[in-house]
Structure 1
Amino acid sequence: NLGFGIVAFACTTCNGMSGALDPVIQQEVIDRDLYATAVLSGNRNFDGRIHPYAKQAFLASPPLVIAYAIAGTIRFDIEKDVLGIDKDGNSVTLKDIWPTDEEIDAVIKTSVKPEQFRKVYEPMFDIKVEYGSHVNPQYDWRPQSTYIRRPPYWEGALAGERTMKGMRPLAVLGDNITTDHLSPSNAIMLDSAAGAYLHKMGLPEEDFNSYATHRGDHLTAQRATFANPKLFNEMVQENGIVRQGSLARIEPEGQVTRMWEAIETYMERKQPLIIIAGADYGQGSSRDWAAKGVRLAGVEVIVAEGFERIHRTNLVGMGVLPLEFVKGENRHTYEINGTETYDVVGTPKPGAMLSVVMTRLDGEQVSIAVKCRLDTAEECSIYEAGGVLQRFAQDFLASEVAS
């Protein structure tokens, strides 16, 4: 009666799989340039995660999600303001409709039963899938999957030597860059780089699914790198104002493009890249592709004011060197605008002070003191090997020889 559509359950929202908006509603959001928001009971309130057109999201318990939907706005004092008027003309507030523990327990007792779970999950174990020329009719396997593909972790950027010389900035970023900025998990839109690729592969738009579900196919997942529509890359400005979106500027041409086109261009040139960022780089739910994507793009070094703990470890695991500005210094201190090239001078060791030599367009060179954020000898060993996969391969081959 309220107009809700049940699209899925459980991890749906966290993975950005809440489904498409009603086309009429989406078009109104676009036409009126509305600042639409979401209210969710999961714990993934990243910008654009619920849907690219829900620009901000707020966390709430399930009953509060319903209450805010009834209110129709977040500009609402949920505890005091009136949600509606009953049939007798009385004001209805949150406390009038809030369910008691007893009411919730009664619903669970009558509506959540073990046989419901057994009916769904037990048949799953009877499915037999054969590979090769035998295809199980249970699934419509595509000849060329966009969900799983042999990964390129032993070739390309990851197999090449990291010179840390002549690096160009892929992005110059501010504070609080999350892993959703680095590699979003929400639904794939047709006008995105990943959407264009899936369309070219013959998938209808309704089957695009989310970035999160395509992590096993690097050709799709790579195109998610910095694909968040809420990204602010300070290299891309108009009249002194940073433009919002998945944008980059190819240097030395100064050409502004979508982020993926810039990455492709630099990959073809075998151009080593660097990222300059502010504080708390990589915060949020740390995911592997937030580190994989930038490394496969050719990023060798990230210089930031600070790193989220787990994401810093993930970067080391992919062979990316995390470096930290000294306290009180940042990208503004050195007037970094993205036209420069960068060289790292020194040997990466735990806690070592290194120099990043920045060369400006006019040839001026500036030495930036940075702290190496390889924090342990083990991390140094992983980094020197090229990453955790390469380190594992070395250890495996060494054990084979020893045996």
Structure 2
Amino acid sequence: PDIVGVELTGKLQPGITGTDMVLAITEFLRKERVVGAYLEFYGEGADALTVGDRATISNMTPEYGATAAMFYIDSQTIDYLKLTGREDEQVALVEAYAKHTGLWADSLTTAEYERVLTFDLSSVTRTLAGPSNPHAHLPTSELAKNGIAGDMDKARAEEKAGRMPDGAVIIAAITSCTNTSNPRNMVAAGLIARNANRLGLTRKPWVKSSLAPGSKTVKMYLEEAGLMGELEDLGFGVVAYACTTCNGMSGALEPKIQEEIIERDLYATAVLSGNRNFDGRIHPHAKQAFLASPPLVVAYAIAGTIRFDIEKDILGHDAQGNPVTLKDIWPDDSEIDAIVKSSVKPEQFRDTYIPMFDLQKAARTLVSPLYEWRPQSTYIRRPPYWEGNMAKERGLKGMRPLAILPDNITTDHLSPSNAIQLNSAAGEYLDKMGLPEEDFNSYATHRGDHLTAQRATLANPKLFNEMVHDEQGKVVQGSLARVEPEGKVTRMWEAIETYMARKQPLIIIAGADYGQGSSRDWAAKGVALAGVETIVAEGFERIHRTNLIGMGVMPLQFEEGTTRHTLALDGTEIYDVEGAPQPGAKLTLVIHRQSGSAERVPVICRLDTAEEVSIYTAGGVLQRFAQDFLESTAA
């Protein structure tokens, strides 16, 4: 892989959080096209970052598309190991091993890179990301300039009349991503809450707020600092130690709030301290979502609308009637650091994690190694990966397009993970299975049942399938498809069912950066089960490309300058692929047009290694495993 050096210079300005830093770096690295690369961070800026801040950068690796983001081992690492309760012997071993093997920072100062990027930490300002993409950098000083903030007089008038304002923040969530494993971020959020409470500020009544730490230690050190109660007073009580809002599992809104959003077709939003804010991911009724640091999430819960200019507008008034703005409640770095030093303790980590790894030697009962599949289960069902479309050979002939998709298709477009709605294909199926709507849960929780999960395939209501147009020729938004050769527009799932019944091989055509976002296994499983044999795009994100190969779907890439637009594709075509798959080989996409003509287009085989070719030709990673297992047992 490409190994890219990223030099961090300067230092963060006062009041700037690790989240602000990583959102700015994400935009920078996405623009620098580091997809698939290994990044090694170094420099005076990197030296000064705590492991918490470094981990926040590394945790966003999928958002800028790299394979890994690494920092050297140094005194910051040793401090972190001590802080988190590691034994002295282990800490000493880590330091000695790193120095002996050349992994200590001092040993890497002479490292040379073919490509070096430089990022100045002092350039980072307070920031959001959004809407719709984590690399859509949005400095809070430019909210009005970018058309996000504005018209607060109208918002206040609506609130006074008992209505939610335009841009209402219906969800404000401090989520379980690395942001909540960074003590500085969490202490800053607690201090914002404390300062707001002292000045009489409150959360807006339509905001559903939550705190879902990734570790139980977060609550421990917030309690130690006397800040947990402050957060709870503003509505940020602990709801779980797990993925919640960031993975689309924010739960139901209050019925009256949901009704008002629907009746008024209100532009409602979410603000969260997660990694991803793709359209439709956070909540079905949040039309857009913005990423922010934990303290900014608290501030937006008080503001109540994304139209609020968070740096300038008045959050409220104190007991004396004085206006209160963000700067009046934002804590000093010195106070944050002092509280982290006094309240985050090694014993908190020991008390949390040592019991977790203690083996429980309870009495054991022998059970059958074979699972007893339950036919009515909507959570765990016998998988079909050796049957149907998964069992047949990929001929790459006579394929019809299931969809023609634009740039920046995410795994949330391909297979959403959020709450299942009754009017969705999955919701209708669960309803037929006898589940009450309140127990539908999310797509992610049903990933063990293919009959539910495959109904999520391309089910995102924010999808734009360029095969589906209105009478004016504009692409229609929604989980829609056009069944060919009839030309009938249907919901995506009905189109998939139709093609499955016909045993019709399928293809998807797409733009650049196909498959952004999380490693959603069903983003690849869903299209494979539908009968998609290949995806031809202008470019692929690394993780999703690998997952497609693992499910036996061929990733092909247009050559530079060739796109769905230059080829004037409209979805009536039939496609073949010619050529033997080899790493980086040039294959031929044969486009049979409705007029009877055929066009031969060179495409690049994105099976990048011999191992990937082996997995693909076996039919996928499961089929490859089965072959290897049978061969080993027969030997």
Partner of 2:268: 36
Aligned CA distance change for structure 1 residues 384 and 118 (closer, same or farther; 3 Å): closer
User: How much does 1:107 deviate?
Assistant: 8.1
Partner of 1:78: 310
Matched, 1:330 2:563: yes
Write the distance in 2 (CA, Å) between the matches of 1:196 and 1:85.
Answer: 48
User: How much does 1:43 deviate?
Assistant: 1.4
Q: Check the 8 A contact 2:374/2:381 in 1, yes or no.
A: no
Mark the structure with the bigger radius of gyration: 2
Write the distance in 1 (CA, Å) between the matches of 2:415 and 2:487.
Answer: 24
Q: What amino acid does structure 2 have at the position aligned with 1:215?
A: R
Matched, 1:317 2:578: no
User: How much does 1:130 deviate?
Assistant: 9.4
Aligned CA distance change for structure 1 residues 206 and 103 (closer, same or farther; 3 Å): farther
Could you tell me the TM-score, scaled by structure 1's length?
A: 0.90
Give secondary structure in 2 for the equivalent of 1:354.
strand
Q: Check the 8 A contact 1:47/1:57 in 2, yes or no.
A: yes
Aligned CA distance change for structure 1 residues 162 and 194 (closer, same or farther; 3 Å): same
Partner of 1:137: none
Write the distance in 2 (CA, Å) between the matches of 1:50 and 1:151.
Answer: 28
Partner of 1:49: 281
Write the distance in 1 (CA, Å) between the matches of 2:587 and 2:375.
Answer: 49
User: How much does 1:34 deviate?
Assistant: 2.0
Q: Return 5+ residue gaps in structure 1 as ranges.
A: 133-140
Matched, 1:381 2:597: no
Q: Check the 8 A contact 1:280/1:308 in 2, yes or no.
A: yes
Q: Return 5+ residue gaps in structure 2 as ranges.
A: 1-201, 211-238
Which of 242, 259, 270 is equivalent to 1:27?
A: 259
Q: Cα deviations across residues 167-212 of structure 1 (Å, max 9, x unaligned)?
A: 0000000000001101111011111100000000000011111111
Aligned CA distance change for structure 1 residues 121 and 32 (closer, same or farther; 3 Å): farther
Write the distance in 2 (CA, Å) between the matches of 1:23 and 1:129.
Answer: 46
Matched, 1:243 2:476: yes
Aligned CA distance change for structure 1 residues 289 and 31 (closer, same or farther; 3 Å): same
Which of 496, 514, 530 is equivalent to 1:297?
A: 530
Q: Check the 8 A contact 1:13/1:44 in 2, yes or no.
A: no
Write the distance in 1 (CA, Å) between the matches of 2:449 and 2:544.
Answer: 21
Which of 458, 461, 467 is equivalent to 1:229?
A: 461
Write the distance in 2 (CA, Å) between the matches of 1:162 and 1:151.
Answer: 20
Write the distance in 2 (CA, Å) between the matches of 1:65 and 1:327.
Answer: 41
Aligned CA distance change for structure 1 residues 130 and 211 (closer, same or farther; 3 Å): farther
User: How much does 1:353 deviate?
Assistant: 1.0
User: How much does 1:14 deviate?
Assistant: 2.4
Give secondary structure in 2 for the equivalent of 1:31.
helix
User: How much does 1:302 deviate?
Assistant: 0.4
Write the distance in 2 (CA, Å) between the matches of 1:46 and 1:310.
Answer: 17
Write the distance in 2 (CA, Å) between the matches of 1:129 and 1:33.
Answer: 56
Q: Check the 8 A contact 1:181/1:226 in 2, yes or no.
A: yes
Q: Cα deviations across residues 126-175 of structure 1 (Å, max 9, x unaligned)?
A: 7999989xxxxxxxx98721100110001111100111111000000000
Write the distance in 2 (CA, Å) between the matches of 1:182 and 1:79.
Answer: 36
Partner of 2:321: 89
Aligned CA distance change for structure 1 residues 106 and 230 (closer, same or farther; 3 Å): farther
Q: Cα deviations across residues 77-127 of structure 1 (Å, max 9, x unaligned)?
A: 322322111121111111222354256788879xx89879999999x9979
Write the distance in 1 (CA, Å) between the matches of 2:477 and 2:611.
Answer: 39
| Structure 1 residues 3-402: aligned runs within 5 Å | 3=205, 4=208, 6=210, 8-99=240-331, 100-101=335-336, 144-238=376-470, 239-402=472-635
Aligned CA distance change for structure 1 residues 280 and 11 (closer, same or farther; 3 Å): same
Aligned CA distance change for structure 1 residues 143 and 399 (closer, same or farther; 3 Å): closer
Q: Structure 1 stretch 75-84 or stretch 210-219: which is displaced more?
A: 75-84
Give secondary structure in 1 for the equivalent of 2:535.
strand
Write the distance in 1 (CA, Å) between the matches of 2:491 and 2:579.
Answer: 34
Partner of 2:68: none
Write the distance in 2 (CA, Å) between the matches of 1:127 and 1:221.
Answer: 36
Q: Check the 8 A contact 2:582/2:607 in 1, yes or no.
A: yes
Aligned CA distance change for structure 1 residues 336 and 126 (closer, same or farther; 3 Å): farther
* Greater share of helix: 2
Percent same amino acid at aligned positions? 73
Q: What count of residue pairs does the alignment treat as equivalent?
A: 392
Write the distance in 1 (CA, Å) between the matches of 2:633 and 2:521.
Answer: 28
Q: Cα deviations across residues 341-375 of structure 1 (Å, max 9, x unaligned)?
A: 10111111111111111111121111111111111
Write the distance in 2 (CA, Å) between the matches of 1:217 and 1:288.
Answer: 13
Write the distance in 1 (CA, Å) between the matches of 2:460 and 2:572.
Answer: 23
Write the distance in 2 (CA, Å) between the matches of 1:188 and 1:127.
Answer: 39
Aligned CA distance change for structure 1 residues 169 and 125 (closer, same or farther; 3 Å): farther
Partner of 2:130: none
Q: Stretches of 4+ moved more than 4 A in 1?
A: 4-9, 102-109, 112-122, 124-132
Q: Check the 8 A contact 2:510/2:564 in 1, yes or no.
A: yes
Aligned CA distance change for structure 1 residues 280 and 22 (closer, same or farther; 3 Å): same
Aligned CA distance change for structure 1 residues 366 and 127 (closer, same or farther; 3 Å): farther
Aligned CA distance change for structure 1 residues 382 and 143 (closer, same or farther; 3 Å): closer
Q: Structure 1 stretch 252-261 or stretch 75-84: which is displaced more?
A: 75-84
Q: What amino acid does structure 1 have at the position aligned with 2:596?
A: G
Write the distance in 1 (CA, Å) between the matches of 2:463 and 2:361.
Answer: 42
Q: Check the 8 A contact 2:573/2:593 in 1, yes or no.
A: yes
Q: Check the 8 A contact 1:221/1:293 in 2, yes or no.
A: yes
Q: Check the 8 A contact 2:422/2:431 in 1, yes or no.
A: yes
Q: Check the 8 A contact 2:536/2:555 in 1, yes or no.
A: yes
Report the aligned-residue RMSD. 2.7
Write the distance in 2 (CA, Å) between the matches of 1:106 and 1:257.
Answer: 60
Aligned CA distance change for structure 1 residues 142 and 157 (closer, same or farther; 3 Å): closer
Give secondary structure in 2 for the equivalent of 1:227.
coil
Q: Cα deviations across residues 14-55 of structure 1 (Å, max 9, x unaligned)?
A: 221111122222222222222211100121212121101112
User: How much does 1:322 deviate?
Assistant: 0.7
Q: What amino acid does structure 2 have at the position aligned with 1:374?
A: L
Partner of 2:162: none
Q: Check the 8 A contact 1:48/1:56 in 2, yes or no.
A: yes
Q: Cα deviations across residues 230-270 of structure 1 (Å, max 9, x unaligned)?
A: 10000111021111111111111111111111001100100
